[in-house]
């Protein structure tokens, strides 16, 4: 476990952070479960650029400029103001509609108006772990710093940084649920920007920074399973193993961390997979109220007609929420020798043939033993058939043989 749960980097021009703090160490910190917030400015160092690239983001030494949506000229009497061009402080309302990352915007349905002054970035690799939470307005573009600070300059904008392509803030959630937020401006964290446009009907800089840091520091958008059970229908105790085609009940209680407390998580897309290499069953669990802290997701399931070692998996991953992965290994056994069905439906024709053959044999035996006419008729028919079919062993006599036989008979008389 890291020494600190959260780290904030607001020194974008620092060339080093001290001994043992480099891009590899920051990456290892996040892999160990730590959360970071990174603020960048136009004079960011190579070290900070390399750290951002470790998370799939590419920052450029450019300034976001907008000739239409920008903050009016700052008061010259403001001692904290800097000599900058007003068009570099752009106004944007292009925020993510993810209610878990920015819950204040999703709940209030207010008009968003965020003031931003800083550098753009792009997402250098496609990854489901990266979410862009704020982008520039369609009328904005990016210029080199020298051109942007000169109001009369007509410097050419970088063609890859214009309109909605300009990313201003992005967040990353690692597979271990550690979170990182990268904002292309340090000014948005200052009191001056937090005090801008604090009307009740406007989602302002303060609301945005509060929501962003709360999400990054695991104060919102965190779900967990309080309890996961399984048992046969009609029973309460879980078994170590089940048999094929058993009907079981699978249940899990899921809570959402919100406003400093655990509340029931409401959803209708939590699924259960029963797999052995490949999923044999994939079904959606039915939510039902459990108590004030969790929602019970359950389903009655008939186990597959396949024995082996199965995994019961709930792999629930949604943007803005921590990953919820539940896994239970449960063996499914075949039926015992005395549990198989006595008769199979598909074998009924063969069963009928056997019975008909037996009945026919019994009927013939009965007729042969107890019906005399049937027995004599059978014997006569058999003997006549044998006589008719017996061949004559003697050959027919020729006329010469008949004459000799008759002459012998006369002499004997």
Domain of 304, CATH number, reads 2.60.40.1930
Q: Does residue 296 surpass a pLDDT of 90?
A: yes
Question: Which domain-ending residue is among 216, 245, 275?
Answer: 216
pLDDT at residue 120, as a whole number: 92
- Residues 31 and 134 placed together within one structural domain of the fold: yes
Q: Does residue 37 surpass a pLDDT of 50?
A: yes
- Residues 237 and 201 placed together within one structural domain of the fold: no
Note whether residue 86 is domain-resident: yes
Alpha carbons 281 and 287: distance in angstroms, whole number = 19
Q: Percent of the chain, pLDDT > 70? A: 83
Note whether residue 389 is domain-resident: no
Range of the domain at 201: 6-216
- Residues 167 and 316 placed together within one structural domain of the fold: no
Q: Does residue 361 surpass a pLDDT of 80?
A: yes
Question: Which domain-ending residue is among 216, 248, 271?
Answer: 216
Instruction: Mark residue 369 as left, alpha or beta (left: phi above 0; alpha: psi -120 to 50; beta: remaining).
Output: alpha
Q: What is the dihedral of CA 80, 86, 90, 91, to 10 degrees?
A: 80
CA separation (Å) from 47 to 12, 29, 295, 338, 371? 9, 16, 45, 71, 111
- Residues 247 and 317 placed together within one structural domain of the fold: yes
pLDDT one-digit tens code per residue, 103-146: 888 777 778 888 999 999 989 888 889 999 999 988 888 888 76
- For the whole prediction, is pTM greater than 0.75? yes
- Residues 47 and 195 placed together within one structural domain of the fold: yes
First to last CA, the chain: 141
- Residues 70 and 212 placed together within one structural domain of the fold: yes
- Residues 82 and 134 placed together within one structural domain of the fold: yes
Note whether residue 350 is domain-resident: no
- Residues 103 and 147 placed together within one structural domain of the fold: yes
Question: Which domain-ending residue is among 301, 333, 365?
Answer: 333
Note whether residue 388 is domain-resident: no
pLDDT at residue 73, as a whole number: 56
- Residues 209 and 122 placed together within one structural domain of the fold: yes
Note whether residue 104 is domain-resident: yes
Number of domains in the chain: 2
Note whether residue 129 is domain-resident: yes
- Residues 200 and 228 placed together within one structural domain of the fold: no
- Residues 20 and 91 placed together within one structural domain of the fold: yes
Note whether residue 31 is domain-resident: yes
Note whether residue 373 is domain-resident: no
- Residues 206 and 266 placed together within one structural domain of the fold: no
């Amino acid at each position: 476990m890291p020494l600190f749960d959260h780290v904030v980097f607001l020194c974008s021009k620092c060339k080093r952070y001290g001994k043992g703090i480099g891009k590899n160490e920051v990456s290892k910190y996040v892999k160990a479960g730590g959360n970071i917030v990174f603020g960048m400015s136009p004079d960011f160092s190579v070290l900070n650029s390399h750290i951002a690239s470790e998370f799939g983001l590419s920052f450029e030494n450019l300034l976001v400029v907008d000739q239409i949506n920008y903050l009016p000229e700052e008061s010259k009497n403001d001692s904290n103001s800097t000599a900058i061009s007003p068009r570099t402080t752009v106004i944007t309302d292009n925020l993510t509609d993810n209610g878990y990352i920015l819950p204040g915007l999703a709940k209030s349905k207010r008009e968003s108006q965020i003031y931003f002054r800083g550098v753009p970035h792009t997402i250098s690799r496609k990854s489901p772990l990266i979410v862009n939470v704020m982008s520039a307005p369609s009328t904005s573009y990016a210029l080199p710093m020298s051109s942007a600070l000169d109001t009369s300059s007509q410097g050419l904008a970088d063609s890859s940084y214009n309109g909605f392509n300009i990313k201003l803030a992005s967040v990353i959630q690692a597979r271990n649920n550690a979170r990182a937020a990268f904002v292309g401006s340090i000014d948005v964290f200052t009191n001056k920007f937090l005090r801008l446009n604090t009307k009740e009907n406007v989602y302002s800089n303060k609301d945005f920074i509060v929501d962003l840091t709360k999400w990054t520091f695991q104060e919102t958008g965190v779900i967990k399973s309080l309890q996961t059970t399984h048992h046969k229908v009609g029973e309460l105790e879980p078994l170590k193993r089940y048999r094929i085609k058993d009907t079981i009940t699978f249940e899990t209680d899921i809570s959402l961390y919100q406003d400093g407390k655990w509340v029931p998580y409401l959803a209708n897309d939590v699924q259960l997979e029963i797999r052995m290499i490949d999923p044999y069953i994939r079904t959606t669990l039915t939510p039902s109220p459990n108590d004030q802290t969790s929602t019970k997701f359950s389903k009655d399931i008939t186990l597959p007609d396949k024995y082996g070692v199965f995994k019961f998996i709930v792999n629930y991953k949604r943007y803005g929420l921590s990953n919820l992965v539940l896994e239970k290994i449960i063996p499914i056994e075949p039926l015992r020798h005395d549990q198989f069905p006595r008769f199979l439906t598909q074998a009924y024709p063969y069963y009928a043939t056997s019975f008909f053959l037996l009945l026919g044999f019994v009927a013939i035996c009965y007729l042969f033993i107890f019906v005399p006419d049937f027995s004599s008729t059978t014997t006569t028919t058999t003997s006549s058939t044998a006589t008719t079919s017996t061949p004559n062993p003697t050959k027919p006599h020729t006329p010469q043989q008949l004459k000799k036989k008759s002459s012998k008979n006369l002499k004997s008389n």
